[in-house]
Amino acid sequence: MFKKVLIANRGEVALRIIRACKELGIKTVAIYSEADVRSLYVKKADEAYLIPGDPLRAYLDYVRIVDLARQVGAQAIHPGYGFLAENADFARYCRRRGITFIGPTPEQIEMFGDKVKAKKTMESAGLPVVPGSDGPVSDLDEALDVAREIGFPVMLKAAFGGGGRGMRVVKDEEELKTAYESAFREAEAYFGKGDIFIEKYIDNPKHIEVQVLGDKYGNIIHLGERDCSIQRRHQKLIEIAPSPSLSKELRMRILGNAVKALMRVGYENAGTLEFLVDTRTGDYYFIEMNTRLQVEHTISETITGVDIVEMMIRIADGEPLPFLQSDITFRGYAIEFRVNAEDPKKGFAPSPGKITAYYSPGGPGVRIDAGVYKDYIIPPYYDSLIAKMTVWALTWEKAVARARRALDEFIVRGVPTNIPLYREMVRDPDFLRGDFGIRFLEEKISRGDYDFEVEGEIDKEDMVLAISAAISAHYGL
Ligand code: ADP
């Protein structure tokens, strides 16, 4: 087993990986930017190294990170999620420099990172995909031709995209003309490649994803599905395992076919296959595969008892999967709430700043993954996720009741968060029914169904301090 692992990430996920390493008796090495000097994970790692300079680039500078791993005697790097997690060049560079990348092979990352290629590969491996263009469209005229053929509304997507960027819902030809240009430019700015492909827009489906684990010897199992339909701006907020509204028959079909398809193409380490599902017709479509640990892995861990981060490390170290599919048992319901420093009253605008009071809930069935504390200043450069609350109970109703109780205990003051919105949601009979599509939350908010106050204001002084520290760092002042 590895003796030392470097974590190429920050925040709650860095802490999650440190915890898994500690339980395995592995020493941990953290890296941090100048904006993360006071982050909790930095204190919890056995060693921590500053990556000076631009706080945005610190976690992306893979040559420097791999060289550091070699210098400090780490044998492997865990990339967490975001940043370098799905960067095939990074995984390849690790391999070249004799460092184990804790994740799939660079070839697998590369293939699935191209959404067009991923769809084609999985379609030929037997999974249904959303009808759409055969590949990226080369210009507006081709985009119009494809859209007319499949019929409006359509969705524009960045072939190399993620995080909902470069994505547009388009309802007619007029809209397509402006949306194509802006999606292309956004994709080019964020992903370096403007390739856009087109899909039929599916009306209010469920987002269902399948967590898989594969070892180096061709064994692949699933850890059940997650229902991630509660979203804003096509980004997940609340995730549930198992889905409270999937029939047993449809669940078995999706899980079985997902594993079968992946067996055909081969996959090692942790991954997630994402699907859009129409529960009325039973149709389901593969949309993409994430070749990394997901934010919402906690709910699959909770209902199966499998430590996914531990499994990632063991698989990377060459161990075979220690269980068969039939050994995995599923128990109860788990719900994860992403606590973000963002203002749900202002279109979910990020709200970095200083946390003036912090108390996280506990008691039966409550798990907290967080990287913050009282007086911590949330930097403005990164994702707005500050904590994840995962609740578990034997039944769906009890899980929601537990969430209600735990959300009432949760205190985060100083910055606006989405906790007050969640408190309303878990009291909503429509939520309790458990039958929601991806438009559920946006429709509720636009109808004004939720009445809540956000606590805290964006503290301008803290922001000025954080920004000037970053500017100084950038110019080496
Ligand atoms: P990203 O990688 O940017 O997160 P995904 O392909 O995973 O993009 O899609 C994110 C979300 O966008 C989905 O969960 C769903 O809400 C919505 N979405 C994606 N494709 C479609 C589609 N063809 N029709 C309707 N909604 C879609």
pLDDT for 473: 54
Pair (310, 389) in one structural domain: yes
**Could you tell me the CATH number of the domain that includes residue 79?**
3.40.50.20
Pair (231, 373) in one structural domain: yes
**Cβ of 114 below 6 Å from ligand 1:** no
pLDDT for 56: 87
pLDDT for 164: 87
Number of domains in the chain: 3
Pair (141, 259) in one structural domain: no
Assigned domain for 125 exists: no
pLDDT in tens for each of the 477 residues of the chain?
Answer: 999 999 999 999 999 999 999 999 999 999 999 999 999 999 999 999 999 999 989 999 999 999 999 999 999 999 999 999 999 999 999 999 999 999 999 999 999 999 999 999 999 999 999 999 999 999 999 999 999 999 999 999 999 998 888 999 999 999 999 999 999 999 999 999 999 999 999 999 999 999 999 999 999 999 999 999 999 999 999 999 999 999 999 999 999 999 999 999 999 999 999 999 998 899 999 999 999 999 999 999 999 999 999 999 999 999 999 999 999 999 999 999 999 999 999 999 999 999 999 999 999 999 999 999 999 999 999 999 999 999 999 999 999 999 999 999 999 999 999 999 999 999 999 999 999 999 999 999 999 999 999 977 665 666 666 666 555 555 554
**Could you tell me the CATH number of the domain that includes residue 411?**
3.30.470.20
pLDDT for 279: 87
Cα of 234 vs centre of ligand 1, distance in Å, is 6
List the residue whose alpha carbon is closest to atom 22 of ligand 1.
201
Assigned domain for 250 exists: yes
Pair (168, 186) in one structural domain: yes
Distances (CA, A) of 87 to 197, 348, 355: 21, 28, 33
Pair (251, 364) in one structural domain: yes
pLDDT for 345: 92
**Cβ of 439 below 6 Å from ligand 1:** no
| Domain housing 309 | 206-447
**Cβ of 332 below 6 Å from ligand 1:** no
Pair (432, 394) in one structural domain: yes
List the residue whose alpha carbon is closest to atom 18 of ligand 1.
234
Cα of 399 vs centre of ligand 1, distance in Å, is 27
Q: Best of 287, 289, 439 to mutate for ligand 1, by most ligand atoms within 8 A of CB?
A: 287
**Could you tell me the CATH number of the domain that includes residue 161?**
3.30.1490.20
Rounded CA gap, 18 and 8, in Å?
11
402 included as an active-site residue: no
Question: Catalytic residue among 226, 232, 292, 367, which?
Answer: 292
Going 153 to 229 to 116 to 222, the CA torsion angle's sign is negative
Cα of 96 vs centre of ligand 1, distance in Å, is 34
**Cβ of 206 below 6 Å from ligand 1:** no
